[in-house]
C-alpha cells in the first residue's frame, strides 16, 4: 500500500468544507482506492462503469439517489451527468460536508452540467498517478527551490542513479504496475488505451475515428516536451486542424497531457525570445514510452528522446506536488528556439524562481541567459493566469534539476538539484 499523505490531507480538508468532493484524474490513477481507504464504514459506494448502475443513473437519477443515499461514493460520475442537478438539490437541502464523494476521469470544466450545478457546492481535487515522493513514502509538499525546502527533500529522499531514474520513467505512474511488477506492461497499456477510447473519446466525441485517434495520441507522444503545433499534428495524423485541437483538449481533460503556458516577458532580446506556444507534456511517462514503442528503460535512456522524457518526468513531478496539495501548479515555460536546456519559471509569492532541466550531471551553465531579464507587468501576469493586479515580481532563488549525485550551491541564488529530490 502506497502512502499518499499530501493528497489524503487535501481530500480530508475539502470533504470537511464542501457537501460535494469531486476527485478527478486519469483512469488507473487510484482515485477510488484512495477514497475507499478514507471512507467511513457507513459510506455507500457505487461505480457507474457498471451498466445497470449507469442505466439507472441516466434514466432516473432521482430514484438512483434514493437507492444510494448520502454519505455515498459515486465512481466515474462523468458517465451520468443527469445526476448533477439532483445532487445540487440534496446538497442545498442538507448542507452536510462530505455527503457526496464523486470521482471522474474528466476534468471539472469538461463535464456537462457540472459548472452550472456544482458551483460553490463542490471542492475539486485533481489527482495524478504515483510520484517519486509517494513511491518513497515521503510527503515533502509542493516543490519550491528555496534552500530550506531543498535541504529537507535531499535529507528524506533516496538517492538514485540515472538508470534508477529512467526505470521509474519507463514504468510510469500507474499504482498497479508498481504494486504488481509481474504484470505484462504491454498488455496493460493496450487495455488502458482501449478503455480510454471506449469511455472518454466516445463520451466527448462519439463520431471519432478510433484508429485515427490512436495515431493522434502516438503523434502527441512523439512531441512530448515540445511546443504545441496542431496544424503539424493534424497533417501527420491525416485529420483536420480543428479535429486535432478537439482531440488535444480531450487528452488534457482526461489527464493524459498537460500544457505549460509561456511566461509573459516584454524584455527578452531577439536571441532570447520565448516560444509563445504552450509546451505539451505527457503526465504518465510510462504510457508515453509505450506509445513510442520503447522496450526497456535501458533503451529509453540511450534513445534520442531521453532528454525529452526526462523533462516530461520532471514537469509531471512538479505539477503533481502542487495538485496533490490542493494548489494549481504555478509553472510557466521560458523555452527559446536556440536553447538546449529546458527552462521554466515557478511563480510563487510574487517571486519568479528560474528552473532549468538538463540530463547533464553538472549543468552549471543551464540557466545562463535566462530570458527573464526584467519582471513582467501585472497586466501580463493577469493575462497569463498568474494573478490579478499584483505588483511586478522579482527574480528569486532558482535551480538546475539534473543528474547530479548531490544537492549543491552553484552560486548565491542557483542550486544544482538532484532529480531524485523531486
Go through the domains of the chain in sequence order and give each one's CATH number. 5-126 (3.40.50.300), 132-421 (no CATH)
Compute the distance between CA of residue 146 and CA of residue 149 in angstroms, rounded to an integer. Answer: 6
3-state secondary structure (DSSP) of residue 380: helix
Asked if residue 199 lies in contact with residue 23, where contact means CB atoms within 8 angstroms, the answer is no
Mean of pLDDT over the chain: 85
Shortest CA distance to 27 belongs to which of 131, 133, 136, 106? Answer: 106
> For residue 419, is pLDDT > 80?
yes
3-class DSSP state of 291: helix
Which pLDDT score is estimated for 329?
93
- Please report the pLDDT score of residue 106 as a whole number: 82
How far apart CA 311 and CA 357 sit, in angstroms, is 6
User: Percent of the chain scored above 70 by pLDDT?
Assistant: 85
pLDDT at 379: 52
Inform me whether the pLDDT recorded for 344 exceeds 70: yes
Confidence of residue 198 (pLDDT cuts 50, 70, 90): low
Which of 278-292, 355-369, 388-402 tops mean pLDDT?
278-292
Contact by Cβ (8 Å): 334, 263: yes
Find the distance separating the first CA and the last CA of the chain, reported in whole Å: 21
Report DSSP letters for 113-152, one per residue.
THHHHHTTTEEEEE--S--HHHHTT----S----HHHHHH
For residue 252, CA distances in Å to 25, 84, 103, 175 come to 10, 22, 17, 20
Report d(CA 401, CA 399) in Å as an integer. Answer: 6
pLDDT for 265 equals: 59
Query: What is the β-pairing status of strands 257-260 and 331-333?
Result: unpaired
C-alpha span between 220 and 280 (Å, rounded)? 8
Grid cell in block for residue 191: 487495455
3-class SS at 259? strand
pLDDT above 90 for 396: no
The whole-number pLDDT of residue 187 equals 92
Q: Identify the weakest region by mean pLDDT among 45-49, 270-274, 277-281, 412-416.
A: 270-274
Give 220-278 pLDDT, tens digit per residue.
Answer: 999 999 999 999 999 999 999 999 999 999 899 888 999 999 887 544 443 356 778 89
Q: Which residues share a beta bridge with 227?
A: 279
On the CB side of 277, CA atoms within 13 Å amount to 11
For 67-105, b where at least 16 C-beta lie within 10 A, e where not — what string?
ebebbbbbbbbbbbbbbbebbbebbeeeeeebbbbbbbb
User: Average of pLDDT values for 355-382?
Assistant: 62
- Whole-angstrom distance, CA of residue 80 vs CA of residue 57: 6
**Which region holds residue 227: left if phi is over 0, alpha if psi is between -120 and 50, else beta?**
beta
pLDDT band at 341 (very low <50, low <70, confident <90, very high): low
109-123, 196-210, 282-296, 328-342 — which is least confidently predicted? 109-123
Amino acid at each position: 500500500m502506497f502512502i499518499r499523505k499530501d493528497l489524503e490531507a487535501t481530500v480530508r480538508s475539502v470533504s470537511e468544507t464542501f457537501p460535494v468532493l469531486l476527485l478527478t484524474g486519469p483512469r488507473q490513477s487510484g482515485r477510488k482506492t484512495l477514497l475507499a481507504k478514507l471512507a467511513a464504514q457507513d459510506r455507500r459506494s457505487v461505480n457507474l462503469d457498471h451498466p445497470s448502475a449507469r442505466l439507472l443513473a441516466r434514466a432516473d437519477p432521482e430514484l438512483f439517489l434514493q437507492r444510494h443515499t448520502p454519505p455515498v461514493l459515486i465512481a466515474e460520475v462523468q458517465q451520468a451527468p443527469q445526476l448533477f442537478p439532483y445532487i445540487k438539490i440534496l446538497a442545498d437541502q442538507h448542507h452536510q460536508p462530505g455527503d457526496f464523494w464523486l470521482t471522474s476521469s474528466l476534468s471539472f470544466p469538461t463535464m456537462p452540467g457540472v459548472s452550472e450545478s456544482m458551483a460553490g457546492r463542490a471542492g475539486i481535487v485533481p489527482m495524478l498517478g504515483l510520484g517519486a515522493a509517494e513511491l518513497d513514502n515521503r510527503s515533502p509538499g509542493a516543490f519550491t527551490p528555496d534552500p530550506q525546502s531543498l535541504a529537507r527533500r535531499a535529507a528524506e529522499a533516496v538517492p538514485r542513479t540515472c538508470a534508477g531514474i529512467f526505470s521509474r520513467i519507463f514504468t510510469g505512474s500507474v499504482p498497479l504496475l508498481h504494486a504488481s511488477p509481474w504484470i505484462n506492461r504491454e498488455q496493460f497499456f493496450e487495455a488502458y488505451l482501449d478503455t480510454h477510447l471506449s469511455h472518454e473519446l466516445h463520451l466527448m466525441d462519439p463520431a471519432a475515428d478510433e484508429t485515427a485517434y490512436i495515431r493522434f495520441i502516438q503523434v502527441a507522444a512523439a512531441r512530448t516536451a515540445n511546443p504545441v503545433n496542431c496544424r503539424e499534428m493534424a497533417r501527420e495524423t491525416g485529420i483536420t486542424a480543428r479535429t486535432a485541437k478537439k482531440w488535444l483538449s480531450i487528452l488534457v481533460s482526461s489527464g493524459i497531457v498537460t500544457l505549460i503556458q509561456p511566461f509573459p516577458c516584454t524584455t527578452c532580446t531577439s536571441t532570447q525570445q520565448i516560444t509563445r506556444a504552450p509546451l505539451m507534456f505527457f503526465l504518465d511517462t510510462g504510457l508515453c514510452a509505450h506509445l513510442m514503442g520503447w522496450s526497456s528503460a535501458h533503451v529509453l535512456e540511450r534513445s534520442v528522446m531521453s532528454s525529452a522524457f526526462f523533462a516530461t518526468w520532471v514537469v509531471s513531478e512538479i505539477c503533481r506536488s502542487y495538485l496533490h496539495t490542493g494548489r494549481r501548479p504555478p509553472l510557466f515555460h521560458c523555452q527559446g528556439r536556440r536553447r538546449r536546456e529546458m527552462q521554466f519559471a515557478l511563480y510563487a509569492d510574487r517571486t519568479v524562481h528560474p528552473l532549468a532541466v538538463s540530463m547533464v550531471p553538472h549543468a552549471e551553465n543551464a540557466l545562463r541567459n535566462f530570458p527573464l531579464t526584467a519582471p513582467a507587468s501585472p497586466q501580463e501576469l493577469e493575462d497569463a493566469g498568474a494573478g490579478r493586479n499584483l505588483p511586478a515580481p522579482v527574480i528569486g532563488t532558482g535551480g538546475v534539476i539534473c543528474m547530479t549525485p548531490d544537492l549543491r550551491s552553484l552560486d548565491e541564488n542557483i542550486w544544482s538539484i538532484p532529480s531524485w529530490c523531486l
